[in-house]
């Protein structure tokens, strides 16, 4: 099992994200790889939980008992940091990372407070901040 993490750079630039809004955004995408998405802070988990099953042909990890493709877990936190766990191959990690990064980049203005959406505070996904 491969476990990894990444930081989208939100805190470094003074942003945070709204987990409930991000949950709604992911649900509305109807992405075929998203098996389930939830946000349950009452259960003491502050991140958005995404069960993600890669549709990539390169990701053919199969659960030996059920015969179905395994899903990876993506946890995205208000800080913009994320974890990816449960992957069996690097292609699954790359697919889950691509989904998470793409979702955060595409919905940046929706999921962050309007505290600093100006050119003086660049998006963590802009070329200037990479």
Residue 60 pLDDT > 60, yes or no? no
Which tens digit of pLDDT belongs to each residue from 83-100? 999 998 889 999 999 999
Domains and CATH numbers, the chain: 2-112 (3.30.310.10)
Q: Is beta strand 81-87 parallel, antiparallel or unpaired with respect to 48-52? A: unpaired
Residue 130 pLDDT > 50, yes or no? no
Which tens digit of pLDDT belongs to each residue from 1-58? 899 999 988 887 778 889 999 999 999 999 999 999 999 999 889 999 999 998 754 4
């Amino acid at each position: 099992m491969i476990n990894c993490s990444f930081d989208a750079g939100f805190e470094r630039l003074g942003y945070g994200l709204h987990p409930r809004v991000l949950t709604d955004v992911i649900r509305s995408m109807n992405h075929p790889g998203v098996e389930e998405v939830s946000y349950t802070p009452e259960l003491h988990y502050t991140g958005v939980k995404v069960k993600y099953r890669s549709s990539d042909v390169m990701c053919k990890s199969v659960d030996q008992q059920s015969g179905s493709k395994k899903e990876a877990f993506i946890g995205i936190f208000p800080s913009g940091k994320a974890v990816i766990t449960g992957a069996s191959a690097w292609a699954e990690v790359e697919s889950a990372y691509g989904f998470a990064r793409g979702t955060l980049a595409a919905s940046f203005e929706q999921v962050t407070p309007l505290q600093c959406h100006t050119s003086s505070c660049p998006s963590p996904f802009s070329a200037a901040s990479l």
